[in-house]
Chain A
Amino acid sequence: MSLILLAEQVLNGLQFGVMLFLMAAGLTLVFGVMGLINLAHGSLYMVGAFAAAAVAGATGSFLLALVAALAAAAAAGALVEVLVIRRLYGRDHLDQVLATFALILIFSEGTRWLFGSFPLYLNIPAWLSGPVLLPGGIQYPAYRLALIGVGLAVALGLHLLIGHTRVGIRIRAGEADREMIAALGVDISRLYTFVFALGAALAGLAGALVGAIQSVQVGMGEPVLILAFVVIVIGGIGSIKGALIGALLVGVTDTLGGLLLPRLFGLVLDPSAAASVGSALAAMLIYLLMAAVLVWRPSGLFGVRA
């Protein structure tokens, strides 16, 4: 195994990680500010991907597709918040789980009804389709490199938004004490809708960006949603920093585990057994990582409350 392959896989892991971050950031914000667990976050990811694929198919422009993904997911998020989610803030988590599970059914079947069961394809734009030569002689796809860039830029943007703007102050105040900021005259329901739509837009962006390297299909969001949960459990609920570090950890662990474990077992087992044991264990690796973090720190690496 060459170092170049290893470096490529680390980059793949980072790319996977930053996309998980886009999902986890929205989830953790919504939980931190509104105390809501949203299973339908994966549906918003799917909405973004389908909107992008539809617009790219109609116009041929990838940038327009991304704008459409952001707009469609944010609009779907705002609509859902106003119609359903708003009624769930005071409820217990069981009600939130069920209502958002119901939303998954409605979103998934609704999308299947509109677009059919066959996957759609979203192409990588021509100006990002080739490889880039990185220092050390690594040939890496430009598109995946761009994904890493976008993910990190969003992380920086969120950091600035929450730490250095007026909206950010309100969001942090909402996390700390929601009655108090309502008493100070902040329109709390508008703030909630904004936060929810922001999280939805990030999920939609992730869906569109990943949709170009995978197929766009119904049910694509939920596996990513569950990985985002793993990220949040590792990073700690409500922490954007925890979400970023957890996401990168999960992304790199998963990618390197798939590469290294079968080879590692190859040292002691015969090749076919090593391949099956290694790949089965690699599939479980991030969950084992989660279990280890739970034993060590039950409220996550950067979590404050359990």
Chain B
Amino acid sequence: MSERGFNALIAVGLIGFPLYALWLDEPFLITLATRAVVLALAGVGLNIALGIGGLVSLGHAVFFGIGGYAMGILASHAQAFDPIWQGAFTVTGTKSMPVIWLVALAASGLAALAIGALSLRTAGVYFIMITLAFGQMFFYFAISWPAYGGEDGLSIYVRNGFPGMNTLVPVQFYGLCLVLLFAGLALHWQIARSQFGLALNAARQSAVRVETVGLAPYRLRLIAFAISGMVTGLAGALFADLNRFVSPTMFSWQMSGEIMVFVILGGVARLFGPVVGAVLFITLEHLLGGISEYWLIWLGALLLGVVLFAPGGIVGLVTRRGHG
């Protein structure tokens, strides 16, 4: 099967699934699918840095968590009618999704610029260890900062609103998340074929050559890292809205690992890799998690198998072409 055909099949599946769930009268399945779509978006974010730029970031939970807390902080102030800042001008919280998304994008973008500026000074294993360490820093900060729930996290009682929609209806919220996932995929596709993406890809293969033709790999990577962080941050805001809850676990190293697992299970640098990976992850969690409490052992074994024997991931297996 061609990769394009496989991608189209998955896109149709994602659009058609809620109809199937409605027909079965199982609204729970829609929530499950929403989880997969939101996690896929987080993976799409990482895939921009990892797939195109070759930046092995083990700290993307930072941006996921920042997106989550952007939603949590804004919505908690709004639900308590307690302004965030009162001075010469007043900043209030909000329950409006578009505003929350913009704040999540801005905050995670800034964090990605700061973390990227430091960690991109190094490469290879250093980069992996440093991104992992910064992730842990945010995790401990979220735990020890008592203003927004500390270790217990923040609960939001009612899901935030989007103009003209009732986000409390699972299908409508699913549709919203799916549109954003497709937007994220379109962004990845656009970047991959743009001049910027080609230069970034070239920097992954040989930084020296890219420098010789007059481009700065550091700047290319920093921009890619920031965009990547923003997409993952947006996914974090959606994830928090889906659960109506944020907690420091969104910052945990396991979360970073899982986001990377989505990308790898599906196939690195494949456009739909993270989507396939996240759907597979949620499916396995749902099916195996029902059979055995220790389903992560099987996920570990599967992951080990993919890494050792199927470097192109699931998309690579189905489309029978290794990636270059």
Residues of chain A having any CB pair with chain B under 8 Å: 31, 37, 84, 87, 93-95, 97-99, 101-106, 108-110, 112-113, 222-223, 226, 229-230, 232-233, 237, 276, 279-280, 282-284, 287-288, 290-291, 294-295, 298-299, 306
Cβ of B263 to closest chain A Cβ, rounded Å: 10
A109 touching B136, Cβ below 8 Å = no
CB distance from B256 to the nearest CB of A (A): 10
Q: Which of B172-180, B186-194, B236-244, B294-302 contacts its partner? A: B294-302
B301:A102 contact, CB within 8 angstroms:
yes
The answer, yes or no, to whether B220 is at the interface (CB within 8 Å) is no
SS class of chain B's interface: helix, strand, loop or mixed? helix
Do residues A290 and B128 form an inter-chain contact, with CB atoms below 8 A? no
Q: Are A294 and B121 in contact (CB under 8 A)?
A: yes
Residue of B123, B144, B145, B146 with most partner-chain A CB within 10 A: B144
Do A284 and B137 touch across chains, with their CB atoms under 8 A apart? yes
CB within 8 A of A101: which of B50, B122, B303?
A: B303
Decide: B129 and A37 in contact? CB cutoff 8 A: yes
Quote the shortest CB–CB distance from B284 to chain A (angstroms). 12
A290 to chain B, nearest CB (A): 6
Determine which of A102, A222, A282 lies in contact with B304 in the assembled complex, contact meaning CB atoms within 8 Å.
A102
B304 and A230 within 8 A (CB): no
**Cβ of B294 and Cβ of A97 under 8 Å apart?**
no
Contacts of B134 in A (CB 8 A): 287
A299 to B124, CA, bound (A): 11
What CA separation (Å) do A288 and B140 show in the bound complex? 13
- Chain B CB within 10 Å — which of A105, A298, A299 has the most? A105
Do residues A98 and B261 form an inter-chain contact, with CB atoms below 8 A? yes
User: With A and B bound together, what is the CA distance between A306 and B127 in angstroms?
Assistant: 10
B71 within 8 Å of A by Cβ? Answer: no
Neighbouring B residues of A298 by C-beta, 8 Å: 121-122, 126
Contact A109–B300 (Cβ < 8 Å): yes
Q: How far is the CA of A237 from the CA of B124 in the complex (A)?
A: 11
In the complex, the answer to whether B126 meets A299 with C-beta atoms within 8 Å is yes
With a CB–CB cut-off of 8 A, which chain A residues contact B144? Answer: 276, 279-280, 282-283
Overall SS of chain A's interface: helix
**A239–chain B nearest beta-carbon distance, Å:** 13
With A95-B311, A98-B264, A99-B308 as known contacts, state yes or no: A109 contacts B125, CB within 8 Å: no
Contact B136 A226 (CB under 8 A): yes
Distance, CA A291 to CA B116, complexed state (A): 11
Cα(A287)–Cα(B136), bound, Å: 9
Inter-chain contact B128/A294, CB cutoff 8 Å: no
> Is B88 engaged at the interface, CB distance under 8 Å to the other chain?
no
Would you give the shortest CB distance from A230 to chain B, in whole angstroms?
5
Given A101-B261, A306-B122, do A276 and B147 touch, yes or no (CB 8 Å)? yes
Write the nearest CB–CB distance from A26 to chain B, whole angstroms: 14
Of B140, B147, B257, B303, the contact of A283 (CB 8 Å cutoff)? B140
Q: How far does the alpha carbon of A256 sit from the alpha carbon of B225 in the complex, in Å?
A: 34
Other A-B pairs, 10, CB within 8 Å; known A105-B297, A287-B136 = A99-B307, A104-B300, A113-B297, A229-B130, A229-B133, A230-B129, A237-B125, A294-B122, A298-B121, A298-B122
| A–B pairs, 28, beta carbons within 8 Å | A37-B129, A84-B308, A94-B268, A98-B260, A98-B306, A98-B307, A101-B260, A101-B303, A102-B304, A106-B304, A109-B300, A229-B129, A229-B130, A232-B129, A233-B126, A233-B129, A233-B133, A276-B145, A276-B147, A279-B144, A280-B141, A280-B144, A282-B144, A287-B137, A290-B130, A294-B122, A295-B121, A306-B124
Q: How far is the CB of B69 from chain A (nearest CB, A)?
A: 14
Instruction: Return chain A residues, CB-CB under 8 Å to B295.
Output: 109
Within B276-324, the residues touching A (CB, 8 Å) are: 294-297, 299-301, 303-304, 306-308, 311
Contact of A306 among B123, B129, B147, B304 (CB under 8 A): B123
Of A31, A101, A110, A112, the contact of B257 (CB 8 Å cutoff): A101
Q: A99-B304, A226-B136, A232-B129 are in contact. Are A299 and B268 (CB under 8 A)?
A: no
Instruction: Give Cα A37–Cα B128 distance, bound, in whole angstroms.
Output: 9
CB-CB under 8 A from A276, the residues of chain B are 144-147
| Cβ 8 A contact of A230, one of B122, B133, B264, B308 | B133
Q: Which residues of B contact A295 (CB under 8 A)?
A: 118, 121
Q: How far is the CB of B275 from chain A (nearest CB, A)?
A: 18
A230 proximity list for chain B (CB < 8 A)? 129, 133
Cα of A288 to Cα of B114 in the assembled complex, Å: 12
Q: Are A95 and B121 in contact (CB under 8 A)?
A: no
Q: Known contacts A99-B308, A101-B257, A276-B147: does B126 contact A110 (CB below 8 Å)?
A: no
The answer to whether residues A294 and B133 also contact, given A102-B301, A283-B144 and a CB cut-off of 8 A, is no
Say yes or no for B63: interface residue by CB 8 A criterion.
no
**Complex Cα spacing A276 to B128, Å:** 30
Known: A95-B307, A98-B264, A306-B124. A105 touches B300 (CB 8 A): yes
CB distance from A44 to the nearest CB of B (A): 16
Asked, given contacts A101-B261, A109-B296, whether A223 binds B136 with beta carbons under 8 Å apart, the answer is: yes
The reply to whether B303 and A98 form a contact with Cβ atoms under 8 Å apart is yes
Q: Nearest chain-A residue to B145 (Cβ)?
A: A280
